[in-house]
Amino acid sequence: MALFRPNDFVLSSDKGEVLEKLKAEGKRAHIIAGGTGFYELARRGYIPEVKTVVSIMQLGLSYIDHEQSAFVRIGATTTLQQLLESRIGDSNGIEAIGDALREIRPLQIRNVATVGGEVCISVPIVDLPTALLACSAKLTIIRAPSDKGAAEEIETNLDDFYIDAFLTKLKYGEIVKEVTIPLHRAEKNSHIASAFVKFGRTAYDFNLVNVAVQLSVDRGNQKKVNSVRIFLGGIKRTPIRAPEIEQKILAKVPDEKMITEATKSMFAKTKLLPSVHGSSEYKREVLPVVILDCLSRAYARAIENEQSGR
């Protein structure tokens, strides 16, 4: 196994210099935030080519800003515990974020791991991206200046960010600055809610599969689903959306049979990502149950939100 032996560890409070360093060094440099994922990869010999570790922890990106009621902006180096303690993840419509944060254990990890790190590491075993995707999160990326220009900020939907395991659309010389999550997206005549459910071997383990759902439910007597976003993690190399299941429950009151059949039909011929802890066949059996659980929780919350007038 190749040893991880970088020559340099850089801590900087200047975004411009960090971006320049990352651009100049290319794949020889690696961004580090909390470091929990980074050191695990390093110990396993996955990043021997890294010669410069560039920390972004002093760039002033630790904040949670929800002064404007339309969205919440979360700085990339905000720790998972800070986000959990802020309770913003329990807000109407984005409860999936709070659910996911509570499922990320242990505290030793939540105290150090960051929101930006969870988003950027792009491994199927993490939880927060699935919840963020269901809640229509966007990323703000800072890009190193071109030869003559200034550093620029670009916004991208998280839906478009993931390419493969360990591979995102982030290029050398770019860092994720913040995650933005829309709040109160309910339409005039509906109530919105979301949920996240993780299935792992133990309460403390990584997921075998996880599911996040955000839906809005008709305000009237019929309680039909007006809109829905379902994302699944742990079954492919990146989180995926489940449009086939979404289509089946749109404009209907979801029931167990409908959800189970839609899930089974979507994955009947697909090989799901196996691991030593769960084969493709095992995950195929488990998945309908987890999706049903998650959809039921989100739906119940939407009804509850209506009854409580939220």
Partner 1 sequence: MISRVSSIDFVVNGTRYRNIKVKPYDTLSRILRDELGLTGTKRGCDYGGCGACTVAVEGMAVYSCMYPAQYALNKTILTVEGLAESESEFSREALSEIQRSFLENGGLQCGYCTSGVMMSTKMLLDDNPNPNENDIKEALAGNICRCTGYGRIIDSILAAAKMKNSAARTK
198 lines the binding site for partner 1 (CB under 8 A): no
Q: Taking CB under 8 A as the rule, which mask of x and - marks residues 65-94 in contact with partner 1?
A: ----------------x-------------
SS3 of 84-121: HHHCHHHCCCCHHHHHHHHHCCCHHHHCCCEHHHHHHC
Binds partner 1 by CB under 8 A, chosen from 184, 204, 247, 255: 204
Asked if omega into 106 is within 30° of 0 (cis), the reply is yes
| Helix 95-103 vs helix 280-307: crossing angle, to nearest 10 | 130
Binds partner 1 by CB under 8 A, chosen from 65, 108, 220, 255: 108
Give 109 or 258: the residue with its C-beta nearer to partner 1: 109
Residue 67 class from Cβ within 10 Å (0-12 exposed, 13-18 middle, 19+ buried)? exposed
43 lines the binding site for partner 1 (CB under 8 A): yes
Render 21-63 in DSSP notation, one character per residue.
HHHHHGGGEEEESS-HHHHHHHHTTS-TT--EEEE-TTSS---
Take residue 251 and report the two structure tokens written for it.
Answer: 């404009």
Q: Which stretch binds partner 1 (CB under 8 A): 28-36, 83-91, 188-196, 237-245?
A: 28-36
Q: How far is the CB of 52 from partner 1 (least distance, A)?
A: 8
Binds partner 1 by CB under 8 A, chosen from 55, 92, 207, 226: 55
> Is 293 within 8 Å of 197 (Cβ atoms)?
yes
Binds partner 1 by CB under 8 A, chosen from 46, 57, 223, 279: 57
Give 40 or 244: the residue with its C-beta nearer to partner 1: 40
Q: Which residue type is seen at 10?
A: V
Binds partner 1 by CB under 8 A, chosen from 27, 61, 106, 211: 106
| Total number of residues shown for the chain | 310
Binds partner 1 by CB under 8 A, chosen from 24, 26, 27, 44: 44
Binding to partner 1, residues 2-21 (CB under 8 A): 4-14, 17-18, 21
Give 56 or 186: the residue with its C-beta nearer to partner 1: 56
- Give the span between the Cα atoms of 300 and 193, in whole angstroms: 9
- Give the span between the Cα atoms of 64 and 74, in whole angstroms: 5
Q: Which stretch binds partner 1 (CB under 8 A): 34-42, 172-180, 193-201, 280-288?
A: 34-42
276 lines the binding site for partner 1 (CB under 8 A): no
279 lines the binding site for partner 1 (CB under 8 A): no
40 lines the binding site for partner 1 (CB under 8 A): yes
- Give the span between the Cα atoms of 305 and 310, in whole angstroms: 5
Select from 252, 281, 240, 239 the least CA-distant residue to 264. 281
Binds partner 1 by CB under 8 A, chosen from 64, 109, 151, 289: 109
Quickly tell me which residue has 């289509």 as its tokens. 247
Give 112 or 250: the residue with its C-beta nearer to partner 1: 112
Q: Which residues bind partner 1 (CB under 8 A)?
A: 4-14, 17-18, 21, 32, 35-36, 38-40, 42-44, 52-53, 55, 57, 81, 105-109, 111-112, 203-204
